[in-house]
Amino acid sequence: MKDKLLGKNLAGLKEAAASCGLKPFVGKQLAEWLYQKRVRSWDAMTNISKDSKARLQESFELGTVAPIGEARSSDGTRKYLFPVSESQAVEAVMIPDEDRRTLCVSSQAGCKMGCKFCMTGRQGWHGNLDTGDIINQFISIEESSELTNTVFMGMGEPLDNYDAVAGAIEILTADWGFGWSPKRITLSTIGVLPKLRRYLDEQHCHLAVSLHNPFPEERLQMMPVQKAWPVQDVVDLIRQYDFSGQRRVSFEYTMFAGFNDDKLHADALIRLLKGIECRVNLIRFHKIPDFPYECATDKAMTAFRDRLSNNGITCTIRSSRGEDILAACGMLAGQQKR
């Protein structure tokens, strides 16, 4: 099987060129075509000679792969299905909002974390995506040139596949790549502590933490990872970093009726996050099969938000997008196989 160029950084592309007897500047040309112009064919690379392209094609493939399925929501959200192996596929979601086009990108086929309210977590883990698989989601959709932001909130736990995700972030932010500001990127995690520290030390992108319950024993009922990485330890680590500047931290809180939506939970959350410059996003739960809880009422969500806001924590109720095409939070499954 040929190695693919998509997903290689500038140094890797120069090495690929050199391995074919070509000058290093060809590697820079490849980066420009792949990441700045986002082409999907060799023929589009008009300033690379036919001989050079022929040499490259003997050892490499571009690595761009078209989606094998898509769905469009009534609100304009589009969900794309991408093959990532002979048997697995992942979903990416493009969310339009006025002048923004945000891509919710996947980092794994399935997920090891096993959160009981998440369709991805319920299907188990089927493998990591490589950096090329991740970047392909940006390049091979119709709105590629319109994208303004991304959230690593699709299928998988990004920090469980940190090296590949870090490679994608490098391509997204490098001047030879997409040239995006790190402020346009948010990574969501349940709090994989060893890799979370690396992310906070090495990256300048925003962080979103899936919290969902301030009480350890109740969080454990929904999120088995609470046993390995207690939420208090995650919050204590975050306290060591400065989020008063350009980098932001938010905490994601899915609201379940009669489980985590009352004053007791709001007050515990206030105590847990005291002193951290952050935002709490309240998320409506989207019903999935064989799960006993319903979404909290609008009245309960509003009261919860107001209680946090009145105690100095910025809190918003997140708008649901793409629920009619199973593209909302926790609903991605990639069930169609290649």
| Residue 294 falls in the annotated catalytic set | no
- Cβ pair 334, 292 in contact under 8 A: no
Task: Give the model confidence (pLDDT) of 304-322 as tens digits.
Answer: 999 999 999 999 998 887 7
Measured N-to-C along each axis, helices 162-173 and 193-202 cross at an angle, to the nearest 10 degrees, of: 20
What is the reported pTM? 0.95
User: Residues 6 or more apart from 97 whose CB is under 8 A from it?
Assistant: none
First to last CA, the chain: 18
The tokens of 18 are what?
A: 């050199």
Q: Which residues of the chain have pLDDT under 50?
A: 337-338
Say what the pLDDT of residue 25 is. Answer: 96
Q: Return the pLDDT at 327.
A: 66
Alpha-carbon distances of 178 from 65, 145, 182, rounded to whole Å: 18, 10, 11
Do 288 and 117 meet the contact criterion of CB atoms below 8 Å apart?
yes
CA angle 205-208-213, nearest 5°?
Answer: 165
Q: What is the gyration radius of the CA atoms in the chain, in angstroms? A: 21
302 Cβ contact list (under 8 Å, min separation 6): 317
Cα–Cα distance, 120 to 308 (Å, whole number) = 30
Beta-ladder partners of 89: 83
Residue-wise pLDDT for 118-166, tens only, equals: 988 888 899 999 999 999 999 999 999 999 999 999 999 999 999 999 9
Nearest to 203 by CA among 163, 168, 242, 169: 169
In whole angstroms, give the CA distance from residue 263 to residue 266.
Answer: 5
Annotated catalytic residue: which of 61, 91, 170, 252? 91
User: Is 329 one of the annotated active-site residues of the chain?
Assistant: yes
Q: Chain centroid to CA 143: how far?
A: 17
pLDDT, position 289: 80
Q: In what order do the strands lie in the sheet with 249-255?
A: 69-72, 78-83, 89-97, 100-104, 149-152, 185-189, 206-210, 249-255, 279-284, 314-317
Return the structure tokens found at 118: 């998440």
Residue from 104, 111, 278, 329 carrying the catalytic annotation: 329
Asked if residues 127 and 108 have their Cβ atoms less than 8 Å apart, the reply is yes
Residue 153 has a pLDDT of 95
